[in-house]
Amino acid sequence: MSNRSPIRCCLINPPYLVKAGNIWNHIKSTMPPLGLLYLAAVLEQGGVTVDVWDFQAASLDWDGIEKTIAAHGYPFFGITGTTPVINSGYRIAGLIKKYHPQAQVIFGGVHVTALPEEALGRTECDMVIRGEGEKALLQLVQGRPLHQIEGLSFRHEGQMVHNQPNGTMENLDEIPPPAFHKLDLSRYKPAAGAYKRLPAINMTSTRGCPAHCTFCNSANIPLRRRSAEKIFAEMAVLVNTYKIREIQFYDDTFTVFPSNIKKLCQLIIDNRLDVTWSCFARADYVSLDLLKVMKKAGCHQIMYGIESASEEILANIRKNCSREKSLQALAMTRAVGIDSRCTFMLGNPGETIETIEATIRLAIQLNPDLAVFNITMPFPGTQMFQWARENGYLRHENWDDYDLGAPVLQLPTISAAETVAWYNRAYRAFYLRPGYVLSRLGKVTSWSDMEVLLRGTGSLLGFVRNTLFSKP
Find the CATH number of the domain harbouring 31.
3.40.50.280
Torsion, Cα 127 133 139 142, to 10 degrees, reads 80
**What pLDDT is attached to residue 213?**
96
Centroid of chain to Cα 247 = 15
Is the same domain home to 401 and 324?
yes
Is the same domain home to 20 and 107?
yes
Residue 167 belongs to a domain: no
Is the same domain home to 297 and 200?
yes
**What pLDDT is attached to residue 1?**
43
Residue 413 belongs to a domain: yes
Domain of residue 58 covers 8-162
How many structural domains does the chain have? 2
CATH number for the domain that contains residue 291: 3.80.30.20
Q: Are strands 152-156 and 127-129 parallel, antiparallel or unpaired?
A: antiparallel
Is the same domain home to 151 and 277?
no
pTM over 0.85: yes
Residue 3 belongs to a domain: no
Is the same domain home to 243 and 383?
yes
Residue 172 belongs to a domain: no
Report yes or no: 319 and 211 within 8 Å, Cβ to Cβ: yes
Is the same domain home to 64 and 125?
yes
Going across the sheet that includes 127-129, the strands are 49-54, 8-13, 76-80, 104-108, 127-129, 152-156, 159-162
Residue 234 belongs to a domain: yes
Is the same domain home to 268 and 335?
yes
Residue 182 belongs to a domain: no
Q: How far is Cα 324 from Cα 385, in angstroms, rounded to an integer?
A: 29
List residues bridging with 106 in a β-sheet: 78, 127
Last residue of a domain, one of 162, 178, 209: 162
Q: How far is Cα 472 from Cα 232, in angstroms, rounded to an integer?
A: 49
Is the same domain home to 154 and 221?
no
**What pLDDT is attached to residue 459?**
56
**What pLDDT is attached to residue 467?**
60
Is the same domain home to 374 and 438?
yes
Q: pLDDT tens digit string along 224-241? A: 999 999 999 999 999 999
**Cα–Cα nearest to 296, from 326, 264, 323:** 264
Is the same domain home to 197 and 317?
yes
Segments of the chain scoring below 70 in pLDDT: 1-4, 18-28, 442-472
Residue 471 belongs to a domain: no
The CA-to-CA distance between both ends of the chain, in Å, stands at: 74
Is the same domain home to 193 and 158?
no
| CB burial string 3-41: b at 16+ within 10 A, e below | eeeebbbbbbbbbbebeeebbbebbbbebbbebbbbbbb
**What pLDDT is attached to residue 438?**
76
Q: How far is Cα 360 from Cα 425, in angstroms, rounded to an integer?
A: 9
**Cα–Cα nearest to 342, from 313, 316, 371, 366:** 371
Is the same domain home to 219 and 127?
no
Q: How far is Cα 425 from Cα 470, in angstroms, rounded to an integer?
A: 8
**Cα–Cα nearest to 250, from 280, 212, 221, 213:** 280
Q: How far is Cα 220 from Cα 211, in angstroms, rounded to an integer?
A: 10
Residue 180 belongs to a domain: no
